[in-house]
Amino acid sequence: MNKQELSQKEEKMPQLQDLLAVAVEAMQDRKAVNIVSLDLSGVDEASTNIFLICHGTSSTHINGIAKNIEKALWEQLGERPNHTEGKQGGHWRLLDYFTLVIHVFNEEKRKFYNLEGLWSDADRKEYPTL
């Protein structure tokens, strides 16, 4: 691939902030609880730029939130996750978009894994539940 083709490909790729904005809106649309982003771009040990975290009130709610995020990112930005986990259990869903990793937990698993505490050196932003 030459430089011009690479440049054109990069122009078509959604920016991280676009991914984040669409994902947050999709979470809010499904009434996700306690939406938080952690900017890990300045953390050396991090394997992604941003964690986006929320929780749902039931396995149905968690799966609905995750499905809505996938749908919105595909329809609005043409992006599919590189990797997903947790479809069967209903306690936690992970959607990996390389630079943005989305976690949709139940409240118990969110407290147990405590990602906000584990990555407390990251810049934190909270979003309203609508």
Extents of the domains making up the chain: 14-127
What is the SS3 assignment for 33?
strand
Give this prediction's pTM: 0.88
d(CA 93, CA 105): 6
User: Which pLDDT belongs to residue 113?
Assistant: 96
Is the pLDDT at 3 greater than 70? The verdict is no
Residue 2: pLDDT band by 50, 70, 90 thresholds?
A: very low
How deeply is 32 buried, as exposed, middle or buried, from its count of CB atoms within 10 A (0-12, 13-18, 19+)? buried
The topology (CATH level 3) of 14-127 is: Beta Polymerase; domain 2 (3.30.460)
d(CA 95, CA 70): 8
85-115, pLDDT tens digit by residue? 998 888 999 999 999 999 999 999 999 999 9
Q: HEC states along 78-122?
A: CCCCCEEECCCCCCEEEEECCCEEEEEEEHHHHHHHCHHHHCCCC
User: Which pLDDT belongs to residue 11?
Assistant: 52
Is the pLDDT at 5 greater than 50? The verdict is no
**Average pLDDT rounded to a whole number, residues 35-51:** 95
Look at the block and give the residue holding tokens 């609880």: 33
d(CA 76, CA 72): 6
